[in-house]
Amino acid sequence: MATGKVKKEMKMKRIPFGTETELSRLLEHCPGCGVSRRQEHEYGCPLECCPSCHGCLLHCDCLVLPLVDEMKITAAIARSMSLGKVTQLLKSSPLLERGLLENGAMKWIMDHQPVELMQEWDRIAEQAIVEIKRDGLEIYPSQEL
């Protein structure tokens, strides 16, 4: 997971509600988590914006928040997860490495260890590793030329 040391120098502050879009400036409270303007969103709020790309914080892959914030958001997402949601996410992101939503799903899997999903996930992960290896082998000779 792309958290921690690698991007340390690029860490950014969270964007408080009411300062991110024209629309949110008109609202007194966040429709997603209920905080007042200029307060930070509740961890895991689906309407929080990413300070780097200004897209939805839970769905982008920037991971620019300090690790402590990312972990709190991850924990909040994990609490809102279910077997159905996790299974759905695995279809679009087999290794769950994209962003905070996937981190939360990963935490949910580790917390619950559902047998049916663990087997399926092992299979997906193995397949993905094989594909990465195969890509690596294909790319390597062409870089040599």
When the beta carbons of 74 and 109 are compared against Zn ion, the nearer one is: 74
Provide the residue type at 14 as one letter. R
Based on the shown chain and the rule CB under 5 A, indicate whether residue 100 belongs to the binding site for Zn ion: no
Helices 100-112, 115-144: axis angle to 10 degrees equals: 130
**In the complex, minimum distance from the CB of residue 105 to Zn ion, in angstroms, rounded to a whole number:** 18
Q: Point out which span in 27-35, 73-81, 88-96, 111-119 binds Zn ion (CB under 5 A).
A: 27-35
**In the complex, minimum distance from the CB of residue 39 to Zn ion, in angstroms, rounded to a whole number:** 9
Q: CA-CA distance, 106 to 44, in Å (whole number)?
A: 15
Residue count, binding to Zn ion (CB under 5 A) = 11
Q: CA-CA distance, 77 to 83, in Å (whole number)?
A: 13
**In the complex, minimum distance from the CB of residue 123 to Zn ion, in angstroms, rounded to a whole number:** 30
Among 15, 33, 81, 100, binds Zn ion (CB under 5 A): 33
Q: CA-CA distance, 52 to 94, in Å (whole number)?
A: 25
Q: CA-CA distance, 31 to 87, in Å (whole number)?
A: 27
Which of the residues 35 through 74 are near Zn ion (CB under 5 A)?
Answer: 41, 45, 47, 50, 52-53, 60, 62
Provide the residue type at 26 as one letter. L
Among the listed residues 76, 54, 50, the one whose alpha carbon sits nearest the alpha carbon of residue 63: 50
Give the footprint of Zn ion on this chain (CB under 5 A): 30, 32-33, 41, 45, 47, 50, 52-53, 60, 62
